[in-house]
């Protein structure tokens, strides 16, 4: 005897099989989207659904558009910036020197009090 599993071959939560038992599916239409790499994605939408202008390519992740000859450009990825790089964008070297001098002066004054 192989085991007492009465629901062998089905998964938990599976509903009745067959469209006759589930009801009719809504009418659908397939829309083609092309990415910059030339991949085509064809998701299906309900006939009364609003069709998006762009759809992410399932193969490469780039955005795809409905115009095969003119797909949307790949988004520009910004390189990782360190905290120091962001600080240097906000402050000039002269500002940094002034802030450092002020902080050192406060530190020296505290040490004199001790």
Q: Report H helices in 1-114.
A: 19-22, 83-90, 93-113
Flag whether 83 is marked binding.
Answer: no
- Distance between CA atoms of residues 102 and 106, nearest Å: 6
State yes or no: 46 annotated in a binding site. Answer: no
**3 state DSSP class of 45:** strand
Closest CA to 39 of 54, 19, 61: 61
Q: Is 40 annotated as a binding residue?
A: no
The two three-digit tokens of residue 87, written as one number: 């600080």
35 annotated ligand binder: yes
Residue stretches of the annotated binding site: 35, 39, 57, 60
Residue stretches of the annotated binding site for Zn(2+): 35, 39, 57, 60
């Amino acid at each position: 005897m192989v085991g007492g599993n009465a629901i062998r071959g089905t998964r938990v939560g599976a509903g009745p099989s067959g469209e006759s038992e589930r009801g009719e599916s809504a009418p659908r239409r397939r829309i083609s989207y092309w990415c910059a790499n030339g991949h085509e994605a064809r998701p299906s939408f309900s006939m009364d659904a609003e069709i998006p202008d762009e759809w992410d390519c399932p193969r490469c992740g780039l955005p795809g558009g409905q115009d095969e000859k003119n797909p949307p450009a790949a988004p520009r990825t910004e390189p990782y910036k360190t905290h120091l790089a962001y600080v240097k964008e906000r402050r000039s070297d002269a500002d940094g020197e002034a802030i450092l001098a002020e902080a050192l002066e406060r530190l020296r004054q505290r040490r004199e009090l001790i």
